[in-house]
Amino acid sequence: MNKNNLFHDIHEECGIFGIFGHPEAANLTYLGLYALQHRGQEGAGICSSDGVKLYLEKSLGLVAEIFNEKVLRNLPGHIAIGHNRYSTTGSSTIENVQPLMATYSLGSIAIAHNGNLVDIDGLKSRLEKDGAIFQTTSDSEIILHLIARAKDGQVHERIANAVRQVRGAFSLLLMNEKELIAIRDPFGIRPLSLGQLKDAYVLASETCAFDLIGATYIRDIEPGEMLIIDENGARSIKIFNSVKKAHCVFEFIYFARPDSYIFDHTCVNTIRKELGRQLAREHPIDADIVIPVPDSGVPAALGYAEQSGIPFEFGLIRNHYVGRTFIEPKQSIRHFGVKIKLNPVREVLKGKKVIVIDDSIVRGTTSKKIVKMIRELGGAKEVHMRISSPPTVGPCFYGIDTPTRQELIASSHKIEEIRKYITADSLGYLSLEGLKKIIPNSDLYCMACFNCKYPIEFEHKKITQMELFS
């Protein structure tokens, strides 16, 4: 069982990192992926180049489990890209772990992709009819086939033409023997930033990766931009016509690390604290303490506590050392799935009226277990749940592993019904208006998970994921 399933119903997408012009490119990519581990825990890979040949190492598992000094010695060169995987499209097998690498008429090429393509079935069928053989079930491989099958043009033209044929969310890093290329979809759904480390250029999903290696943030890769980095420096090409931006708002709510700056260098921690403050204004309650569901609920809980004047406490302790798998005892243990990750502090909770801050409720099953655990094991007198985002009513098709709409509890149940299901004494969600008040330039964000307004249309068969059955 993947450890994410123990705790949160929404799963991370992926993290990507790239570097050009550093003699220890693979080592620094390893560190970058380590900083981005929260974006994907199923597998990781690094591809490097010494200017002549590409080298690839990848495996299932966590970054620190996969890479050691011996493995990194197999990745020489001054160019590298890396990828942390959480499967959104394609199953969890070694073949689907990225970067994906291929050899074609112009040499070798590797790709690392954060996001999700839509309407890929028809494109894949067409390629297969033309003789393409797919080695993975990942949507990212389609881009490699489109590049390789281009009849003419230099590598940059082929890459540009390939990505123009696909739709969806994509922050991409590609590399060949001599170049590093970054591309962002025209909506800018997933984050991607450019930094510098002395004479080397660095690219990452989040700036926390820059901090670890001592790189300096320069700017975001613009939506619709292709940035080409080679021995002559960096040059930018606009490969898509301008469209209205649609940044993923859930990056601020849950996915990005609090110490990161994303989407035009906005601080994640600041946004989350302000969401908590707004939540306190919208849903005040008489209580003794405010506690977060760690770790993503911590900044919002701090904001709620500061705004309300109610003391902040750590009433739930998280075990950060849960591996990718665990052996569940044959004899049933109450709340085992949550207890493997969280444990209540009875001394803090006993006899108290407790406000619990979490970032979202998806199916409701995890929240129900947490509320019962706080009440039964922690001894809390009252448990009031507060959510620092609006009700999640729509699935995501752009790189987040969300359930179908049928499984999203808020899509078919009123708030009072959800409250009864999770057994809380009260339940309050942040309003959509409150969210928009806190997010800078909120009209430039995708909020489809809260309002079902999708910036990119998706294929008809996915409409079944949107249906609610009686």
Residue 267 assigned as binding residue? no
100 and 192 housed in the same domain: yes
In a domain, 446, yes or no: no
Return the pLDDT at 320. 72
Average pLDDT over residues 194-203: 98
Contact 266, 197 (CB under 8 A): no
- Whether residues 219 and 278 share a domain: the answer is no
Q: pLDDT band for position 396 (50/70/90)? A: confident
Averaged pLDDT for residues 70-89: 89
Judging by beta carbons within 10 Å of its beta carbon (0-12, 13-18, 19+), is residue 426 exposed, middle or buried?
Answer: middle
Does residue 232 carry a pLDDT above 70?
A: yes
Does residue 292 belong to any structural domain of this protein?
yes
Other CB atoms closer than 10 Å to residue 133's CB: what's the count? 7
Tell me if residue 407 falls in helix, strand or coil. Answer: helix
Q: In the structure, what pLDDT confidence band is assigned to residue 467 with cuts at 50, 70 and 90?
A: low
What's the per-residue H, E or C state across 192-220? Answer: CEEEEECCEEEEECCCHHHHHHCCEEEEE
In a domain, 61, yes or no: yes
- 108 and 164 assigned to the same domain: yes
DSSP 8-state assignment for residue 227: E
Residues in the chain: 470
Question: Alpha-carbon distance 370 to 97, whole Å?
Answer: 33
Residues marked as catalytic? 14
Q: Do both 203 and 300 map to the same domain?
A: no
Q: Residue 105: which domain range? A: 3-243
Please tell me whether the peptide bond between 294 and the residue prior to it is cis, using omega within 30 degrees of 0. no
Lowest mean pLDDT among 80-89, 355-364, 448-457: 80-89
Q: Please state the pTM of the whole predicted model.
A: 0.90
pLDDT digits (tens, 9 = 90+) for 400-445: 766 678 889 999 999 999 999 999 999 999 999 999 999 999 999 9
The answer to whether 452 is annotated as binding is: no
Angle made by CA atoms 257, 262, 266, in degrees to the nearest 5: 105
Percent of the chain with pLDDT over 70: 89
Average pLDDT over every residue of 355-379: 95
- Whether residue 249 lies inside any domain: the answer is no
The percentage of the chain sitting over the pLDDT mark of 90, rounded to a whole number, equals 76
24-36, pLDDT tens digit by residue?
Answer: 999 999 999 999 9
Does residue 287 lie within any of the structural domains? Answer: yes
Q: Mark whether 45 and 97 lie in a shared domain.
A: yes
- Does residue 263 belong to any structural domain of this protein? no
Tell me if 155 is assigned to some domain.
yes
233 and 309 inside one domain: no
d(CA 4, CA 69): 28
pLDDT in the model for residue 287: 98
Residues 370, 390, 268: CA angle, nearest 5 degrees: 85
Q: Determine the pLDDT at residue 361.
A: 95
Confidence of residue 3 (pLDDT cuts 50, 70, 90): very low
Residue 326 scores a pLDDT above 60? no
In a domain, 10, yes or no: yes
Same domain, 289 and 237: no
Helix (H, G, I), strand (E, B) or coil at 248: strand
Is the same domain home to 192 and 276? no
173: CATH? 3.60.20.10
Q: Which of 377, 373, 357 is nearest to 365 (CA)?
A: 373
Weakest mean pLDDT among 241-245, 270-274, 394-398? 394-398
Q: How many domains does the chain have?
A: 2
User: Averaged over 169-190, what is the pLDDT?
Assistant: 97
Q: What is the arithmetic mean of pLDDT over 268-277?
A: 98
Residue 2 three-state SS = coil
> Which residues have C-beta within 8 Å of that of residue 245, sequence separation ≥ 6?
187, 188, 223, 444, 445
* pLDDT confidence band for 461 (50 / 70 / 90): very low
Q: Is 296 annotated as a binding residue?
A: yes
**277 and 239 fall within a common domain:** no
Helices (H), 96-176: 120-129, 140-148, 155-164
- CATH number of 361's domain: 3.40.50.2020
pLDDT at 58 over 90: yes
Average confidence (pLDDT) over 183-195: 97
